[in-house]
Amino acid sequence: MSKQVVVVGGGVIGLLTAFNLAAKVGQVVVCDQGEVGRESSWAGGGIVSPLYPWRYSPAVTALAHWSQDFYPQLGERLFASTGIDPEVHTTGLYWLDLDDEAEALAWAEREQRPLRAVDISAAYDAVPVLGPGFKHAIYMAGVANVRNPRLVKSLKAALLALPNVTLREHCQITGFVQQDGRVTGVQTADGVLAADEVVLSAGAWSGDLLRTLGLELPVEPVKGQMILFKCAEDFLPSMVLAKGRYAIPRRDGHILVGSTLEHAGYDKTPTGEALESLKASAVELLPELQGATVVAHWAGLRPGSPEGIPYIGPVPGHEGLWLNCGHYRNGLVLAPASCQLFTDLLTGAEPIIDPAPYAPAGRLG
């Protein structure tokens, strides 16, 4: 297939879409308004699971399961080809004092996932630094986290090594070019960039771009703030989550604590109020962080969408235009499956899962 495909947006979804397409089409051009991967892909925690997987629809679950199983081999492949290790780090995850523990366990039995109730004393034995007072725990073995900035770097390096892929950073897309009812390219500050197919993977900005065609995509920016501590490498052996906040250990002892959920438009300014709230959550989860230094504090914008179900597939009435966006809190979690499903659809291959729940048809205003 000798098509030229333009991917608008260079986050993990856009980069992995380009990586998959490169083996199937003639040329791929990735355009990003800034540096690739520096928005929500950089800012997130990287847990390779929805925070509360049982609270999501089967559509999200199907993508999550496929991705979780695929992530280790993706990490190994990127490391082998680029020398940059995305650090897919399998630690397992403890949920503490859930209100809907029964629903979680019922979901696990139904979906055949390795989530189970554990005695709270076993949780404290496994995670000795856990704060006092927790009463109940459930645990899922095999849950990994990926070091998302390193994943972005490795994907970028892999794409730069491919002869038929071009990365255009600091390339502002202002609209789409149409001819005879078909989208035939994008408008940039430097002129028209022609394409046989255009893929919109612009995260929280996707809705703004579709609006130039008179289409309403219900994707909006949702701010999330995180903090980072540096501890000993063996300080936290497992991810832990309570009261909507989580702590994620990296292999080198960095501990991420997040995150907030704020509807603040495109404002990405970290705030003192969020910093204090996150520090309080960190100390409640892991009291030894009381005296630890916060080495970083940042904010990112998630592409909020109804029920967190992404839009994957062609845009009705605008031949040549495709969506792979709107992953809300689970872009990193769902990326491998979303991008493989998207590639299957664009190239006419047998889709890895039923694409119907993600189709833009009927979901755009």
Provide the number of structural domains found in the chain: 2
Expressed as residue numbers, the domain containing 190 is 4-47+150-218+307-358
- What is this structure's pTM? 0.96
Q: Using an 8 Å Cβ cutoff, are 139 and 120 in contact?
A: no
- Is residue 63 assigned to a domain? no
Phi, psi values for residue 251, rounded to 5°: -65, -30
Radius of gyration of the chain (CA): 20
Kindly state whether residues 108 and 182 are assigned to the same domain: no
Per-residue model confidence as pLDDT tens digits over 243-269: 999 999 999 999 999 999 999 999 999
Q: Using an 8 Å Cβ cutoff, are 116 and 105 in contact?
A: yes
Kindly state whether residues 324 and 234 are assigned to the same domain: no
Kindly state whether residues 277 and 295 are assigned to the same domain: yes
Average pLDDT, the chain: 96
Q: Which residue has the tokens 């496929």?
A: 66
Helix, strand, coil % in the chain, rounded to nearest 5: 35, 25, 40
CA–CA distance, 141 with 178 (Å, rounded to integer): 49
How buried is 5 (Cβ within 10 angstroms: 0-12 exposed, 13-18 middle, 19+ buried)?
A: buried
Kindly state whether residues 127 and 252 are assigned to the same domain: yes
Q: Which residue has the tokens 């260079």?
A: 10
Per-residue model confidence as pLDDT tens digits over 271-329: 999 999 999 999 999 999 998 999 999 999 999 999 999 999 999 999 999 999 999 99
CATH number at residue 40: 3.50.50.60
306 secondary structure, DSSP code: G
Which residues lie below 8 Å from residue 153, measured CB to CB, with a gap of 6+? 37, 84
What pLDDT score does 331 carry?
A: 96
Confidence grade of residue 2 (pLDDT, cut at 50, 70, 90): confident
Which residues lie below 8 Å from residue 356, measured CB to CB, with a gap of 6+? none
Q: Which residue has the tokens 């980072």?
A: 228
CB atoms within 10 A of CB 52: 15
| Paired residues of 225 in beta bridges | 299
Q: DSSP per residue over 147-171, as a string?
A: -HHHHHHHHHHHHHT-TTEEEE-S-
- Is residue 79 assigned to a domain? no
